Amino acid sequence: MINLSQRGRAGLEFLGSLQPYSSSKIRQIAKKDFNNDSDGKLMTESHQDQFTLKNWVSKIKAYKKVAHRSLAYRHERFYQRYVAEENFVRAIPAIEEKRDEAEKIVHISHKDCGGSLELDQDIKIPEYYEGVEWHLEPGGWDGYDLAGPMFMSGIGKYVFSRGGFAAVEVGDDIRNQRVRVTSHLPKENYNCIYEMGCGGATTLAACHKNYPEAKLIGSDLSPSLLKAGHNVAKAMQIPIHFKQRDARKTGEPDETVDAVVMYALLHEMPVSVCIESIKEAFRILKPGGDIIINDPPPFSAVDPFQAVILDWDTENRGEPFFSETCSMEWDKVLNDIGFINTKSFSLGKKGYPWVDIGTKPL
C-alpha cells in the first residue's frame, strides 16, 4: 500500500464522503419525492411488470421522467457523476506523485506458489469491449499502467470502500460481498473452480477462503488485469491459473470443472454475449457441477425508483450494458440452457448483491 500525499489522500477522502452522503441522505429525499408524485405512486404500486430486452427502454423512460421532477434526484445524480469523473482526475495525479513506488509494486516479483499466467497475443478482442472507458476510467481496463496501485491505494481505499455507487449500497464492503456470495455455492467442497471475467484475483481469493482445497482458474480479456491478478495472487501465496480468454471460448475441455463463477461480469457484456458465456459454462462444467452468478438485480426485482438509479449507470458511468442486462432474469436463462435447481435471491436490502445459482444435471 502506498501512502499518498496529504493533498492526494484528502481529495479522495472528500469524494469518499460526498458519494455516500449523496446516495443516502439526498437519495432518500429523491425517493420520497418519487413516491409522493401521483404518477410515481401509481408506478410503484403497480410495479409487477415483466421486463424484456424489447420493453425496458420505454418502461424506464417513463420512470425516469418522474424521477427527474425531483430537484433532490437531479442534485444526487450531479454528485454521482462528479465523483465518478473526479475519482480519476484526483487519483491519477496522486499516484503519479508516487510513480517510483507504484512501479516497484507493479513490477515486484513475488515467490512462485504454483499459479500461472497464460496471455494470448492472438486473442480477438470483441467490438463491444474496445474503446469503452468502463466506470469512466481513462483508456478503459488497459489504459493506465498504474491502475492497480491507483485502485489499491487510492480509489478503492478511499472511495469505493465507502459504497454508495451503482448497485452497491452505502457501507457495503465489496470485498466481503465476494466472500459472502461465493459461500452460497451449493456444495461444501469443490475440486476445480473456474471464474470467467475474473479481472484480477479478488473473487478468486474469496473462493480460496471458502474452498481452500479447490484448484482455481480465472480468465479475462484484459492483459493488465490478469498480470496484476497474477502478481497479487503470488503476494497472497494463492495458486491461481490466469488465462487470457473470451468467456465465450475458454478452450477448456468439456466437463472438466466443478463450479463456474461469474462475478460482476454479465453487466459488462451485451445480453447475447452473456447467453453464449453461460452456454460455455454449461459445456465445461462436469455433470452435477454448479454455476453462481453475481450481478446487479433485475429491474423486475426492485422498485421503479431503484430501477432508475440502476439504469443511470448505462449512460453516465461507462456501463453500456448495465440496463439491458438488468432487463433479464438470469435464472430463466439458466433453465433454458439446461441448468436445474436454479434459484435467485438478494443478499442486500435493495437487491444487491443479486445471486443466481444453477446445477448441471447428472
> Which among 242, 202, 263, 223 is positioned nearest to 129, based on CA atoms?
223
CA distance 351 to 305: 13
Contact status: 151 vs ligand SAM (CB under 6 A): no
CA distance 4 to 16: 15
List the interface residues with ligand SAM, window 16-55 (CB under 6 A).
Answer: none
Q: Provide, rounded to whole angstroms, the least separation between the CB of residue 266 and ligand SAM.
A: 9
* Closer residue to ligand SAM (CB): 30 or 216: 216
Q: Provide, rounded to whole angstroms, the least separation between the CB of residue 126 and ligand SAM.
A: 6
CA distance 304 to 59: 9
Contact status: 185 vs ligand SAM (CB under 6 A): no
Span from 43-51, 67-75, 268-276, 350-358 in contact with ligand SAM (CB under 6 A): 268-276
Select from 34, 263, 299, 322 the one that contacts ligand SAM (CB under 6 A): 263
Q: What is the DSSP letter of 264?
A: S
Q: Provide, rounded to whole angstroms, the least separation between the CB of residue 220 and ligand SAM.
A: 4
Select from 22, 23, 182, 202 the one that contacts ligand SAM (CB under 6 A): 202
Phi and psi torsions of 243, nearest 5°:
-135, 140
Q: Provide, rounded to whole angstroms, the least separation between the CB of residue 48 and ligand SAM.
A: 30
Q: Provide, rounded to whole angstroms, the least separation between the CB of residue 199 and ligand SAM.
A: 3
Contact status: 129 vs ligand SAM (CB under 6 A): yes
DSSP H helices in the chain = 6-21, 27-36, 38-45, 56-67, 71-96, 99-107, 147-150, 156-158, 174-182, 202-210, 223-236, 271-284, 304-316, 322-326, 330-337
CA distance 268 to 271: 9
Amino acid letter, residue 356 = D
Q: Which residues bind ligand SAM (CB under 6 A)?
A: 126, 129, 141, 196-199, 202-203, 220-222, 225, 246-247, 263-265, 268-269, 273
